[in-house]
Chains A and B, each alone.
Chain A
Amino acid sequence: MEEKEEKIVVKNLYKIFGKNPEKAIKALNEGKTKEQILSEQKQVVGVQDASFTVYKKEIFVLMGLSGSGKSTLQRLINRLHEPTSGEIIIDGKDITKLNKKELREFRRNHFCGMVFQNFAILPHRTVLGNVEFGLELQGVEKEKRREKAMKVIQQVGLKGNEDSYPDQLSGGMQQRVGLARGLTVDADIMIMDEAFSALDPLIRTQMQDELLELQNKLQKTILFVTHDLDEAFRLGDRIAIMKDGRIIQIGTAEEIVSKPANDYVKAFVENMDRASVLTAGSIMQPVKENAFPGDGPRTILRKIRKNGLTGILLIDTKRQLKGYIRATELAEYINKNKEKEKIPFDDSLIRDITSVNKDMPLNEVFNIYDEHKYGPIAVEDENNRVVGVIVKGSIIAALSESAEGINNNQ
């Protein structure tokens, strides 16, 4: 597992919109809900007790229904909203303590501005004028910022449009301007609020792909807000699901689908096609016991019987898969060759089985399984070390659960 570096650490963050925030926080601590506080105190709970970490170079998605506090939480992180209480530590610095001037400086150096649902690009400026905006604010000289802006314009596929005005561009193109404006400045946190929600579905998917591609190259830390679960799962390395200003679950798409934290999340993800979200890794079972190449035939048979298996994986000490031994064939071999202390390393006894990477989507695993004759499928990590097995039963269980989800929804 590669080492993850902390980029944004949020601790116990609250945002109350109202005249007496302490009172609202006190009520929250006493177990009052957002609704109660709204009706009793006329104060709005924007975000309550949010704690999470965003790692460098990941796309972290905030997901939730309208009014769940996604935008508010996002705007707390660049302090467009002042936090009521809590800490926001970015690159080791608590930004809630910065004064106005320091904050301005911090934003210039750490944030790629913001990308909005309605694009929010300047109507009186050309594409180029918009894209160089951030650098212009920093006082970068004209030559330099033009050069940088043109480079990014090329990257996002706006070349040839640099002298157009926003009202001459389609929605998708306008959002590319919004994206380019952010990418032009030398900063690494990108904040995107429903950035693709105003685009029609085809353009939207296309923009998602382009964002992923750009992210591959540019490796920013992206904080992406959406109310669309499909989008969240497509883009997010990790996803935080919000409700009533509270984060109720953080995890990868698989974690959220396979282990929803509560019924709310469960209801949320029921819409999803599980087969396309779950991976081999999420449904595999651990290898209880395996045979080693040095084991004698009788030892292996004992291991198989003890675990009630029909066969066993042969794995070397470096966890590399060497094959599969079936119980029936092994018993026969022992009967015929009573004196042998070693098993033969040829295909008379040791069978090939299929192995898959743990990130393979479940629907692909299912297709492979169709052609698979016997035994389990071995699941390997990126270094080809065996990390688990999938048996036919578990695939079917996972897929039928998904069918149930879909049926319940109709």
Chain B
Amino acid sequence: MFPFRIPIRDWISSAVDFLVSEFGAVFDGFSAFVYFLVDNLKDGMMALHPVILIVLIAALTWYMAGWKNSIFAVIGLLITENIGLWQAFVETLSLVLTAEILVMIVGLPIGIYAAKSDRFNSIIRPILDFMQTMPAFVYLIPAVMFFGLGLVPGVVATFVFALPPLIRLTNLGIRQVPKELIEAADAFGATEMQKLMKVQIPVAKVTIMAGVNQSIMLGLSMVVIAAMIGAGGLGEDVLRGIQRLQVGQGFEAGLVVVILAIILDRITAGFGQRKSPAGR
């Protein structure tokens, strides 16, 4: 139809080439940082006897979400151990947690700033929409381009995919803080920082934690996809099950993903609703 072809692929490739060659050190540094996080988390958890880790997770679940959920966690984790997926479980948990840590480091400030600046908000909103409508697979491409194959691009792809809900809900939560609460703080002579730390974030906490919860759930949904670029963990077992038509094996790994998802969901959902005992 057209005598020429719009060279999108060339543009993107040369842009990536440019970035990698100019900012290689930045990517390497970032890569090392991410690897450091994931690896230490994983090693730390693997160093513990499974029973100890199970007890720790069960205790946290109990504290955040009550004894029923805690019992569920214990049973689910014992099954995981029993069917030999413990190491994969720990790998996936480390990957998801690392991605979530990055999401919080990046997402909270962006969300807060978006709540304070209408201009900034109107700039990032279409970007967030774009990120969320994009098929998850697409995130693999830049991740691989910048970080090659393995764990780090897996974390990066998960991070990018899980980022939007936290920004959105942080923004929303802070914007929803009643105007009078802000006026009251102002009238007492609060600084911007005091307002943020003592009023806006605590009042928006439930909404922000809903954002954390959503982004963890999205992160878990990336587990299998991330395994396609060598991120390992439970996703790899699912993939192997698909590729070799070993339905049972694939199902087992999928089941553990679900168990992990439920535990993380209950813990983070509970966190948003708690009042801190100190009353601050």
Q: Are A107 and B191 in contact (CB under 8 A)?
A: no
A305-321 Cβ-contact flags toward B at 8 Å (1 or 0):
00000000000000000
Query: CB distance B202 to A80 under 8 Å?
Result: no
In the complex, what distance in Å separates the CA atom of A122 from the CA atom of B275? 12
Q: For residue B188, which residues in chain A have a CB less than 8 angstroms away from its CB? A: 107-108, 111, 113, 133-134, 137, 185
CB of B255 within 8 A of chain A? no
Nearest residue (CB) in B for A133 is B188
In the assembled complex, the Cα of A185 lies from the Cα of B187 at a distance in Å of: 12
Name the interface residues of B152-185: CB closer than 8 Å to any CB of A: 178, 180-181, 183-185
Pair A124/B275 contact, Cβ less than 8 Å: yes
Q: B279 touching A129 by the CB < 8 A rule? A: yes
Work out how many contacts link A and B, with CB atoms closer than 8 A: 76
Interface residues in A, total, Cβ within 8 A: 33
Decide if A118 is an interface residue (CB 8 Å cutoff).
yes
CB-CB under 8 A from B178, the residues of chain A are 118, 120
Complex Cα gap A209–B189 (Å): 29
State the interface size on chain B (CB cutoff 8 A): 23
User: Which residues of chain A are near B186, meaning CB under 8 Å?
Assistant: 80, 107
CB within 8 Å of B: which A306-364 residues: none
For A116, list chain B residues within 8 Å (CB): 180, 183-184
Q: Quick one: given A120-B178, A137-B194, are A125 and B280 in contact (CB under 8 Å)? A: yes
Minimum CB–CB distance from B230 to chain A (whole Å) comes to: 44
In A152-194, which residues have CB < 8 Å from any B CB? Answer: 163, 165, 181, 185, 191
Contact A120 B181, beta carbon cutoff 8 Å: yes
- For chain B residues 67-81, which have a beta carbon within 8 Å of chain A? none
B194 near A122: Cβ-Cβ < 8 Å: no
Q: Which of B184, B189, B203 contacts A124 (CB 8 A)?
A: B203
Residues in B neighbouring A128, C-beta threshold 8 A:
279
- Does B125 have its Cβ within 8 Å of any Cβ on chain A? no
Given A137-B190, A191-B187: 10 more A-B contacts, CB < 8 Å: A78-B187, A80-B186, A113-B187, A114-B183, A114-B184, A116-B184, A123-B203, A137-B191, A138-B189, A165-B279
Q: List 7 A-B contacts (CB under 8 A).
A: A80-B187, A108-B188, A113-B188, A114-B184, A120-B178, A129-B279, A165-B279
Residues of A that sit less than 8 Å from B by CB:
75, 78, 80, 103-108, 111, 113-114, 116, 118, 120-126, 128-129, 133-134, 136-138, 163, 165, 181, 185, 191
